[in-house]
Structure 1
Amino acid sequence: MTTEATGVEPGMYDIPAELYHSDPIPGGSLSSTGARKLATECPARFKHWLDNPEPHTAALEFGTAAHTVVLGNGPELVVVDADRWDTNETKAKVAAIREAGGVPLKPADYQRINDMAEALAANPEASDLLAPGSGLAEQSLFWPDGDVWRRVRIDWLRPDAIVDYKTSRSVDPQHLEKAVHEYGYHQQAEFYRDGAVELGLLPPGAAFKFIFQEKNPPYLVTVAEIDAFAREVGRQMNAGALHLYATCRATGHWPAYVEGTALIPLPAYVERQYA
């Protein structure tokens, strides 16, 4: 797909999150989240997710609010000081805040987010990575790759690294190993790095730093990078997802897990018991 075909210039844009997530590329583009879904789910499920945006959830809004406070960039945070959020009056107030592009928060959640930001600021490595003036927050990148366009939204772009902030139940490295695998963070790191390098924003091999922070006191922080083997796995999974996306777009066919009749064996560990 050429630039002329979309009317969009490849590059970095400082645009609202809503515009980024609505996918401003004519004909559509593949995001890191989409690539991770395609790599682990079937195209039919990916297409359904693409056509049916996920609704607001408390966890999603909490994460968005935490990003806003930590990165100093994001939607307006509005504290809704109500004893109950299930009354018609409060529901209407919350809906109006969301409609205006804000994030409604209970006082306790707002305080917790500010306590998290304070704890993160006390971590020397994390606070240095996110030091004011050291980078740009919430930058959107768009670039063509063969027959498709790709896009990412970077939390914090430094001249020497990409920094991504994530809240987590635990920041114990053993827990994070499972989280990286489950949520495809190794794919995300390589997908983002591809865009920054392609657009000349970072040199090849530039660092990608994750800042993981627990959501409960004492709000522990772990700064982490993905190791070489996981990075290579992420690159291969992204390549497969890009090929699948291009093929499905070209054919208009988004298949399920299996087409035709599937032959289902017993799990391998059961077969070994009877071998």
Structure 2
Amino acid sequence: MSQRARTLDIDDPEYFALPSLDQSQLKQFLKNPADWAFARLGGEESQPTDAMRFGTAFHAFLMGTGNVVSLDEGETYKSARNRQWRTEQEAAGNIVVSYSDLTLLKRMRSNIEKISGRDGYPDYMGMIQEGTCEQAIEWTDAATGLTLKAKPDLIPAGTDFLVDLKTAAAADEDSFSRSAFDHGYHIQAEFYRQAVALCPDGMFNRGTRVPKSVQFWVFEKTGACDWQPFTISAESPIAEFARTSIRQALTGISLMASLGAEAGYGDKDSADTAAKWILASGYGSVEMPDGSVLAAGYDKRPKELGVPDWALRKAMLTVGA
């Protein structure tokens, strides 16, 4: 069991600067500890993609956590006046988007506004307006001593679920199911449930201390910008997989931190100690409590390349062509 969480009144730059581990880092560690270690210790500075920038603008626009602005239709940044306007807006902390993107954002928000509270549907906009948006939470994992952090999109008041907003090329069930597994949304859901469950009773005016599920509100970014919500509940098999994955990542980082301390790479931050050991050891390995071996990077021994089913099917279709 982890210790009680604390809430932090900080902005995004301060949140991202915290050395605590978030769910994105755990997913990166599970994929390849070497890449996690490299990024953890500075790595290469990554720039946000267009999709990431649009997602940031969408969150701010729908939840009202930031001011999203654009030039008028037909205006460009060729003029010094408009470039100066952009500089001033960014300096004020506003999110500058293109006119076409702002049009999309308005369409997306309109689609949730016009259904909220009507025809038996939940009051989605009311949840946003009355709930707690983007609350930073930090806590210590009791089993490993590692400090963790989370920032759920929305903790609705009086409910037993959390909400995470997603933008996607397609919001149909099959497409989002694939995205959920590809991007580890089940891990994100379980991590956020744990974070809120560890907050003091009564905080956020939530309906239950332990959220029973996470709703993903998935919005398409083209055409009509239709959307629909999906749920990952605590009883779902993928939630159990997520709990196992989270524990595996935390245990692995903790064990590697111990090896790092023994090797003289000790740091006041245990996660940094683990990262230093991974890179300095040439990507060694640790034995997990269940007897399995967790490698800190790819296996460097030659191996026969497996052929996935899709490649076999494709090869069969091309035989004799």
Preserved CA contact (<8 Å) 2:165 2:218: yes
Alignment of 1:189-208 (within 5 A): 189-200=189-200, 201=203, 202-208=208-214
TM-score for both structures, normalised by structure 1: 0.81
Pick one of 60, 67, 81 that aligns with 1:68. 60
- Counterpart for residue 6 of structure 1: none
Counterpart residue type for residue 164 of structure 1 = D
- Counterpart for residue 264 of structure 1: 303
Q: Deviation string for 1:135-194 (max 9, x for gaps)?
A: 111111100113111111111112422111111111100111101001100000000001
**What is the alpha-carbon distance in structure 2 between the residues aligned to residue 60 and residue 247 of structure 1?**
33
**What is the alpha-carbon distance in structure 2 between the residues aligned to residue 37 and residue 269 of structure 1?**
23
1:47 and 2:37 are equivalent in the alignment: yes
Gaps of 5+ in 1: 4-8
Q: Deviation string for 1:200-258 (max 9, x for gaps)?
A: 35523522111111111211111111251111111111111112232344423123523
What is the root-mean-square deviation of aligned Cα atoms in Å?
A: 3.0
**What is the alpha-carbon distance in structure 1 between the residues aligned to residue 45 and residue 135 of structure 2?**
21
Which deviates further from its counterpart, 94-103 or 48-57?
94-103
Q: Provide the aligned length of Structure 1 versus Structure 2.
A: 259
**What is the alpha-carbon distance in structure 2 between the residues aligned to residue 80 and residue 56 of structure 1?**
22
3-state SS of 1:225 partner:
strand
Preserved CA contact (<8 Å) 2:116 2:125: no
Alignment of 1:1-275 (within 5 A): 10-23=5-18, 28-40=19-31, 42-50=32-40, 51=42, 52-74=44-66, 76-81=67-72, 84=76, 94=86, 97-98=89-90, 100-124=92-116, 128-131=123-126, 132-146=128-142, 147-159=145-157, 160=159, 161-200=161-200, 201=203, 202-226=208-232, 228-250=236-258, 251=260, 252-254=276-278, 255=283, 257-258=297-298, 261-267=300-306
After superposition, the Cα gap between the structure-2 partners of 1:70 and 1:98, relative to the gap in structure 1 and judged at 3 Å, is same
3-state SS of 1:154 partner:
coil
3-state SS of 1:224 partner:
strand
Gaps of 5+ in 2: 261-275, 284-295, 313-321
Please report how far the alpha carbon of residue 90 of structure 1 lies from its aligned counterpart in structure 2 after TM superposition.
6.5
